[in-house]
Amino acid sequence: MKHSQPILDDRRLRPVLDRVLAGERLTFDDGVLLYRSPDLLAVGWMANHVRERLHGDRTYFNVNRHINPTDVCVASCRLCAFGKHAKDPSAYTMSLEEVWERAGHGYTEAVTEFHIVGGLHPELTLDWYCAMIRGLKERYPKVHLKAFTMVEIAYLAKRTKITIRETLERLKTAGVDSMPGGGAEIFSERVRRIICDHKIDGEEWLETARIAHQIGLKSNCTMLYGHLETDTDRVDHLVKLRALQDETHGFVTFIPLAFHPKNTALQHLATTSGYDDLRQIAVSRLMLDNIPHIKAYWIMMTPGVAQIAQRFGANDIDGTVVEEKIYHDAGATTSQHLRRQDLLRLIREAGREPMERDTAYRPVVREESAFTVLV
């Protein structure tokens, strides 16, 4: 039988627990306390309580493929090991044909989503991106195109000398179905100046997301943690996302992203601990009361921690991914993809019920024989 109350070692959590049980919104100060309390099990209990209220025992996953058309990037962010200068001999930019062909590697009926992001390329035009999207839609009409971060959109708009709204509308008309959550990093200007000073600021990221949602594009959202930010910076970030969500209801999933320092200009920093990763998942679930899904991205957390996260507030584990580059360039030691059957096993081992979803979280029901080539 489930306990209706956790044992509180940290009695300061009592009012927070009362609010959680009553389904009330948590305050900024509650968020700070959740980060500072040593009572991780109580924090996790509360997050799991909310997660089960929203999603029961289900853990969602999808069968997706990442495509990174170019790693050329003008931004040179200190946090990033993926972006390269155009003159770097190891930099790459795919031709349109290469993008279309690569998308089809291992393509079966089972792939429901392409996740497409890349660097801020100084020469690729909006027309080029629209042609890429149209070509993918023609070749893979059933696959959902989750493409381009708010950062890429703002950069394309600036280079094309048109508004963000028009840029988004043109990409939507070409076939973009929704947008991933990357590039938000941390909204604190103090930290942003150090880790990603050439990127749009936090307000611009939020404004781009607002416009995307207004024209009918849903998106995800993220927060990069475990670098130079404080716990109040983290709460500030979550509260800003929550406020925008009250306004637009356009965010589908929140993905906390642990900083991987290897091969970046910040490689002297330590990696996050499993303890911090689990707490981050839990605080996200508790603070973001209006964002339906919290994803424990297995590539970033490792499959083992992503499993435990399913008891700390997460209800999604991401997907098969295939060919992840951004985290692996920054030293991730996880595999670059998992098979569908591995995801099913991971989720079941965590005591949850796996549910394959499409990008809009509709259940995907297929015959098992459709997956035999996905190895």
Applying CB under 6 A, the residues found at the interface with ligand V47 are 79-81, 149, 180-183, 185, 220, 222, 224, 255, 257, 259-260, 264, 297, 318, 326, 330
Strands (E), 213-286: 218-225, 251-258
The sign one gets for the Cα dihedral 54, 58, 59, 65 is: negative
Closest CB 10 distance from ligand V47, rounded Å: 30
Instruction: Please state, in angstroms and rounded to a whole number, the distance separating the CA atoms of residues 310 and 306.
Output: 7
Residues with Cβ < 8 Å from 41, sequence gap 6 or more?
6, 9
- Ranked by CB distance to ligand V47, the top (closest) residue is 182
Residue 171 φ then ψ, to 5° = -70, -35
Closest CB 1 distance from ligand V47, rounded Å: 36
Shorter beta-carbon distance to ligand V47: residue 49 or 192: 192
Closest CB 91 distance from ligand V47, rounded Å: 16
Shorter beta-carbon distance to ligand V47: residue 46 or 281: 281
Shorter beta-carbon distance to ligand V47: residue 177 or 185: 185
Closest CB 255 distance from ligand V47, rounded Å: 5
Closest CB 88 distance from ligand V47, rounded Å: 17
Burial of 22 (0-12, 13-18, 19+ CB in 10 A): exposed
Closest CB 77 distance from ligand V47, rounded Å: 7
Shorter beta-carbon distance to ligand V47: residue 222 or 280: 222
Order of strands, sheet of 293-294, starting from the edge strand that comes earlier in the sequence: 64-67, 113-116, 144-147, 178-179, 218-225, 251-258, 293-294
Our CA angle for 137, 140, 324, nearest 5°, is 100
Shorter beta-carbon distance to ligand V47: residue 170 or 218: 218
Shorter beta-carbon distance to ligand V47: residue 16 or 164: 164
R_g of the chain computed on alpha carbons: 20
